[in-house]
Amino acid sequence: MSEQDSERQDIEQAKAGPLTPADFAQYPEYSALKKNWHWFQNQKIGVLLHWGLYTVPGMVESWQLSDEDTWARGNKPFRPNMRQLKRDYWGLATQFVPDHYDPDAWARLFKEAGIRYAILTTKHHDGFTLYDTALSDFKVTNPDYPAAHLQQPDLFGRFTTAMRAAGVMPGAYYSKADWHYPDYWRHDGLPKGRHADYLPSEDPQRWQRFVDFVHQQLLEISGNYGPLGMLWLDAGWVGNQREPLDFDPLMAQIRKLQPEMLIVDRTIGGRYEEYVTPERQVPDPDHLPTMPWESNIPLTHDWGYVPHGQYKSIETVIATILRVVSLGGNIVLGVGPKVDGTIAPPYRKLLRQLGAWLQLNGQGIYGTRGVQPSLFKRAAQLGWFVTEDAGHYYLFPQMTVPPRQLDLKRFDFPEAISGAALLGRTQASLPLAPTGCLGLPGGLRQQLYPGIVCVKATAGTPEASN
């Protein structure tokens, strides 16, 4: 499923040739990376939370600030001209009041939904930080802003504590661009594109100040908030040859602070893109990423909260998860909290529906791996998704009404099947004939993507657990 469209131009494409995990063997962090990759690929489902000043008016993240990104303003710009738009946008910091923010409630919701990791924006391209940085006054804890007067104004700090307490691994999103910082964009009223408003090679001292700023903020995030699952770096145009960030010495320091954290310098390629992040798409089975990967799929059209958003159906969400996991990837679902810190009812409904489905079928998702592309395509032709682990294959029907008989030999599994059962609380065994035909109960037709566990002949007897 692809969500890319011609309207949005914030979707970044990979900019470097494919690497494989073996290419990292030359680096001293390789042993830790193998452990971290294994953990990551077992988690399968995360959320990515875009939250910031843009939620005050309910507009598409902070992209309207960039003069060149006309797509973000469309027919409904935040203000009629860019000078007024920027002035009023920066002023939204005085209206950002998350007075109903309850990260413990978020954590309970995510746990109920079967979410294994949650990534929160520490800073989007607009430069406003949701944590207490010492490098800028444009932050949620600035005493001139109303959010600073909350009992615990460091929103990211509260988030990380709540997530870990609930058993959900927290991660940090950070935009390497900063359109508020004067060594990236001058506050001179002139038009600005998404890049720095000068060539760093022509003013290296100014650029070095910005590099130092980015380094120190990333050290704050990595050093002040306990263990993190991933540092998810956005704004892939920063860090390339035009805008180099000199990450080698920085990342060595960060790895000492966070030895179990994955660094995701997305779309850049190379040593610091430790997994890849196809955005609004699921890769084609004939062109799968060669690195561990995670599809980024918002639950609406937008990443941040937009009133009257078009939410996906639970059928679409589960089908997308099944396709991603069958191909060997993770999925991170985009959720946009409202300005007051609450998560809108349609998001909550979708997440709880997902959790109910995973309560029955999670064994076929968590800890599994994708099947070979040939098996994926063969199963798809038969109308099924397939995942596997060391001892089992897991089948999920793509069709609304599964058949009463399923000929397992048509899948041409590499291993023989010794038995089968329904996933879920009943652990009901299914009749498997010597011919390889599996009997499916009629009640399966009333369920949403019901999972079937098929036991590989070397794995013993069929069982289903949650």
pLDDT tens, 123-136? 999 999 999 999 99
Angle at 275 between CA 272 and CA 281, to 5 degrees: 130
- The alpha carbon dihedral of 423, 41, 162, 113 has a sign of negative
pLDDT band at 1 (very low <50, low <70, confident <90, very high): very low
- Residues 292 and 375 both lie in one domain: no
- Residues 336 and 452 both lie in one domain: no
The answer to whether residue 5 is domain-embedded is: no
- Residues 218 and 323 both lie in one domain: yes
CATH code for the domain in which residue 427 is found? 2.60.40
> Is pLDDT of 462 > 60?
no
pLDDT band at 278 (very low <50, low <70, confident <90, very high): very high
- Residues 247 and 178 both lie in one domain: yes
- Residues 113 and 75 both lie in one domain: yes
> Is pLDDT of 287 > 60?
yes
pLDDT in tens, 62-74: 999 999 999 999 9
Residue 202 in tokens: 């022509």
Q: What is the pLDDT at residue 2?
A: 56
pLDDT band at 140 (very low <50, low <70, confident <90, very high): very high
Among residues of the chain, what percentage have pLDDT more than 70? 96
Q: What is the pLDDT at residue 403?
A: 80
pLDDT in tens, 375-388: 999 999 999 999 99
Mean of the per-residue pLDDT values of the chain? 94
Show the beta-strand stretches assigned E in 4-75.
45-49
Q: What is the pLDDT at residue 118?
A: 99
Contacts of 233 (CB under 8 A, 6+ apart): 174, 175, 176, 239, 263, 264, 265, 266, 272
- Residues 351 and 420 both lie in one domain: no
Residue 446 in tokens: 């009333």
Length of the chain: 466
- Residues 287 and 205 both lie in one domain: yes
User: How far apart are the C-alpha atoms of 96 and 141, rounded to whole Å?
Assistant: 11
Picking from 347, 110, 131, 160, the residue whose alpha carbon sits closest to that of residue 261 is 160
Point out the least confidently predicted range of 14-23, 223-232, 356-365, 410-419: 14-23
- Residues 441 and 292 both lie in one domain: no
Residue 272 in tokens: 């610091």
Point out the least confidently predicted range of 36-50, 208-222, 434-448: 434-448
Residue 392 in tokens: 């089992």
The answer to whether residue 14 is domain-embedded is: no
Among residues of the chain, what percentage have pLDDT more than 90? 89
Structural domains of the chain, count: 2
Q: What is the pLDDT at residue 465?
A: 42
User: How far apart are the C-alpha atoms of 226 and 162, rounded to whole Å?
Assistant: 12
- Residues 129 and 43 both lie in one domain: yes
Output the pTM of the full model: 0.96
Picking from 127, 4, 129, 12, the residue whose alpha carbon sits closest to that of residue 69 is 12
> Is pLDDT of 463 > 70?
no
CATH code for the domain in which residue 25 is found? 3.20.20.80
Identify which has the larger pLDDT, 329 or 464: 329
- According to DSSP, residue 192 is labeled -
pLDDT in tens, 163-204: 999 999 999 999 999 999 999 999 999 999 999 999 999 999
Instruction: Look up residue 436 and give its amino acid.
Output: G
> What would the mean pLDDT of 17-31 be, rounded to a whole number?
94
> What would the mean pLDDT of 433-460 be, rounded to a whole number?
87
Residue owning tokens 């599964």: 402
**Alpha-carbon torsion angle 370, 373, 376, 380, nearest 10:** 150
Q: What is the pLDDT at residue 464?
A: 43
**Taking a C-beta distance cutoff of 8 angstroms, is the pair 262, 229 a contact?**
yes
Question: Which residues span the domain enclosing 201?
Answer: 21-364
- According to DSSP, residue 293 is labeled B
The answer to whether residue 13 is domain-embedded is: no
Final residue of a structural domain among 347, 364, 381: 364
Final residue of a structural domain among 308, 329, 364: 364
> Is pLDDT of 242 > 90?
yes
- Residues 72 and 213 both lie in one domain: yes
Contacts of 35 (CB under 8 A, 6+ apart): 260
Show the beta-strand stretches assigned E in 341-447.
369-370, 384-388, 392-397, 405-407, 417-422, 429-430, 437-439
- Residues 80 and 119 both lie in one domain: yes
